[in-house]
Amino acid sequence: MQAFLLGYLLICCPTLAQDAKPQFTDVTGDMKLDFQNYSPLTPERHLHLFMGSGLAWIDHDRDDWPDLYFCQGAAFPTVKTEQPEHSDQLFRNRNGVFENITALAGLWNFDYSMGTAVGDYDNDGFQDLYVSSYGPNHLYKNNGDGTWSEIADQPILNDERFGASCTWADVDADGDLDLYVANYLRLPPDDYPLCSHEEGGKRYPGGCHPRFQKHEYDILYRNNGDGAFTDISQEAGLMSETPRAGLGVFVFDPDDDRDLDFYIANDTVHNQLWVNAGHGTFVDDALVTGVAVNGFGVAEAGMGVNGGDIDGDGRIDLFVTNYFNETNTLYRNDGVAFTDVTAEYGLGAPSKQRLGFGTSFIDVNNDGWLDIFVANGHVQSYPPELERHTPFAQLPQLFLNRNGQRFEEISLKAGAYFLKKVVGRSSGMADFDRDGRSDLAIQHLNDSAAILRNDTESNNHSVTIELIGTQSDREAIGAFMEARIGDRRIVRLCNGSVSYLASDERRTQIGIGEQTALDSVTVRWPSGLTESWRSLGTQGVHKLIEGRGHAE
C-alpha cells in the first residue's frame, strides 16, 4: 500500500519526489547590514516597548535592487533628549551588498516607529513610504533623486494614535492609493496603564492585558489625487462598531467583487474583515465569514497576518500569528466563508508554544507552493529562572508546504539562524541578490536585524513579475495574478503591506518547479481590467503594463 502511494505521488506531484532542501544563510554581517533595534525596556515594562518595529523592502532609487528600510524604536518618552540618536535607517542595496544611506537620503525619523506602507501614492514612479508610530505617523515622499522629504503640509497624516501595521490600497478605484492604518491601544505617556503579573510567588511588572485596555479606531485616508488626503474613517464605516486593538492588516478581495477589502488582525478581540461595499463604505463581515475568531470560537491575539493561495484552489487564504498557548491560525478561503484548518494543515501543534509576530509567505524552493516563515518572541520578559515555561527569546519557524495538502516544519534543517532563540518581530521578503530565490529580512527586539539569504539548491526556477498600473495605481496593489503551467494554476497577489509592520518587495516571484516558463499570466487589475500575457520565461523581470496585455 505504501509503495503504491509513493508511486502515485511521484506521478502526480513531482515536487515531492525531487525535494529540494530549503536552506537559509544568515548573511547580515557579509552584507554590511548593521541595524540594531533600540527599544530600552523600562522597569515598569511599558507595553509598547515590547512590540518591536517594522521593516520595508523598497526600491528607493529604482535600480531594480530592493533596498531595506528599518523602523527604529526609542526610549520611553519621560525625558525628551535634545539630540536623539536612534533613527529609522535606510540601507541601499548595491548588487546585493548594503550601505547605510539614511543621512544621504535625509530620511531621519526619531519617533518610536512601528509599521511601514510602501506605495507610490503620487504615481510618479518612485515608491513612497508611510511610517506609523507610537507617536505621530509620517509620510515620506521619494524625491526620485536619492533624497526624501517628509510631507509636512498634511498634518492629518501625522495622527498620534498608537499606529501599527498600515497599507496602501486604492479602495475607490480612482487610480491613486488610499491609506489604511491599523491602530492599537490608547497608551498615552502621561496616563500609561501599568500592570504586574505573579510568577513563582513574586510579582513582576508587565504589560496590561490588551483586551482590557482602551482600543483605538483604525483610520482610512482617501487620496484626493492632488497630494492631499482626507480622513474618511467615519463615513467609510470604520467607526460603526467598537474600536479594536489592531496590529496586522492585509488587503485583498475575498468576495471577488473586484474591489479591495481589508482584513485586520486584532489583539485579543475579534478580527475584522472590512468588506468594501462600494460607494466608499465598508462593512465588517468577519464573524459571518469565519475569520473573526478561530475554530474554537475564541478571539486570539492577532499580531501579524499574511495571505496567499495555500492550497492551490485559486482563492486567497489567510494566516494570522497569535499568542503563546494559542495556535497561529490558517483560515482557508472556501468561497462563501473561511474555515479554520490550522490543525489539519499541521500548523496548530508547532505554534502552541510560540508567540508569533512576523509571518512571510515565501516559496523557498520555487515549487509554486507558498511556504511559511514565522518570527517568534514573547512580550513578557522574566528573570531566567522563570523563563523555563514562557521563554522571551524563541526559535523562528519555517514550514514547508507539501503540495497544498499540509505543512511540515523544517526549521531545524533550514540553517543556523533557525537554531538560535531570538525575540523576533517583523519579517519581510525580497529577492535581494537577484538569484531568483526569495530571501528574508527580520527585525529582532533590542537586537541586530538579520538578512537570511535563500541558498536552497534545486533545479526549480521562478518567474519574476512587476506590475505597472496605468488606469490602476502605478503599483497595482491588490492586483490578482493567475499563472498557468500546463494544467496547473498558481495564484498570486500583488501585496500591500504584510506580515507584522512590514512590506515585502513589490515584485512577485512565482516558483514554477523545473519548468522554464509560465504558459500565461492573467492579471486582474484594481481598475477592473483583466488581461493576460503568454510565455513568461525565467530570465529577468517581466514588467507587465496595464493595458498592454491581451484583453480577457
Instruction: Return the HEC string of 200-228.
Output: CCEEEEECCCHHHCCEECCEEEEECCCCC
Question: Which of 290, 469 has the CB closer to other proteins?
Answer: 290
Residue 201 makes contact with other proteins by CB under 8 A: yes
User: Per rule CB under 8 A, is residue 396 in the interface with other proteins?
Assistant: no
CA 219 from centroid of its chain's CA atoms = 18
DSSP string, 327-354: --EEEEE-SSSEEE-TTTTT-SGGGTT-
Please state the closest distance from residue 341 (CB atom) to other proteins, in A.
5
For 168-191, the DSSP string reads EE-TT-SSS-EEEEEE-B---GGG
223 closest CA partner among 305, 151, 271: 151
Instruction: Work out how close the CB of 214 gets to other proteins at its nearest, in angstroms, rounded to a whole number.
Output: 18
Q: How many residues touch other proteins (CB under 8 A)?
A: 30
Contact between 384 and other proteins per CB under 8 A? no
Place of cell 492629518: 156
Q: How far is the CB of 276 from other proteins (least distance, A)?
A: 18
**3-class state of residue 412 by DSSP:** helix
**Is residue 296 a contact point for other proteins (CB under 8 A)?**
yes
344 binds other proteins (CB under 8 A): yes
Amino acid at 102: T
Closest contact distance (angstroms) between CB of 49 and other proteins is: 24
- For position 289 contacting other proteins by CB under 8 A, the verdict is yes
Dihedral angle, C-alpha 94, 97, 98, 99, nearest 10 °: -70
Task: Give the three cell numbers for residue 295.
Answer: 475554530
Among the residue ranges 24-32, 58-66, 147-155, 330-338, the one whose residues contact other proteins (CB under 8 A): 330-338
The yes or no reply on residue 353 touching other proteins (CB under 8 A) is yes
Q: Which is nearer to other proteins, 351 or 497 (CB)?
A: 351
464 and 508 Cβ atoms separated by less than 8 Å: yes
Considering only 173, 185, 316, 341, the residue that binds other proteins (CB under 8 A) is 341
E strand intervals along 79-194 = 89-94, 97-100, 112-119, 128-134, 138-142, 148-150, 163-169, 178-183
| Residue 338 Cβ vs other proteins, minimum distance, rounded to whole Å | 8
CB 297 to other proteins: min, Å: 3
Is residue 337 within the footprint of other proteins (CB under 8 A)?
yes
Q: Name the maximum alpha-carbon separation found in the chain.
A: 73
Task: Compute the least distance from the CB of residue 345 to other proteins, in Å.
Answer: 9
* Least Cβ distance, residue 96 to other proteins (angstroms): 38
Give residue for cell 472590512.
Answer: 274
Among the residue ranges 34-42, 84-92, 281-289, 464-472, the one whose residues contact other proteins (CB under 8 A):
281-289
Say if CB 255 and CB 337 are below 8 A apart: no
386 part of the interface to other proteins, by CB under 8 A? no
Which residue from 145, 190, 191, 198 is in contact with other proteins, where contact means CB under 8 A?
A: 198
Q: Which is nearer to other proteins, 405 or 446 (CB)?
A: 405
CB 138, CB 161: distance < 8 Å: no
Distance CA 534, CA 377 (A): 44
Scan for cell 531594480, then name that residue. Answer: 64
Which listed residue (115, 206, 246, 290) binds other proteins by CB under 8 A? 290
**Neighbour tally for 235: CB within 10 Å:** 15
For the segment 397-426, give every residue that binds other proteins (CB under 8 A).
Answer: 406
Q: Report the residue from 343, 412, 416, 419 that binds other proteins according to the rule CB under 8 A.
A: 343
Question: Which of 464, 432, 437, 436 has the alpha carbon at shortest distance from 451?
Answer: 432
Binding flag, residue 288, other proteins (CB under 8 A):
yes
Instruction: Decide if residue 240 touches other proteins (CB under 8 A).
Output: no
Told to check if 5 binds other proteins by CB under 8 A, we report: no
Only one of the segments 37-45, 78-86, 334-342, 428-436 lies at the binding site for other proteins (rule: CB under 8 A); that segment is 334-342
The residues of the shown chain that bind other proteins, judged by CB under 8 A, are 198, 201, 287-290, 293, 295-297, 325, 327, 334, 336-337, 339-341, 343-344, 346, 348-353, 389-390, 406
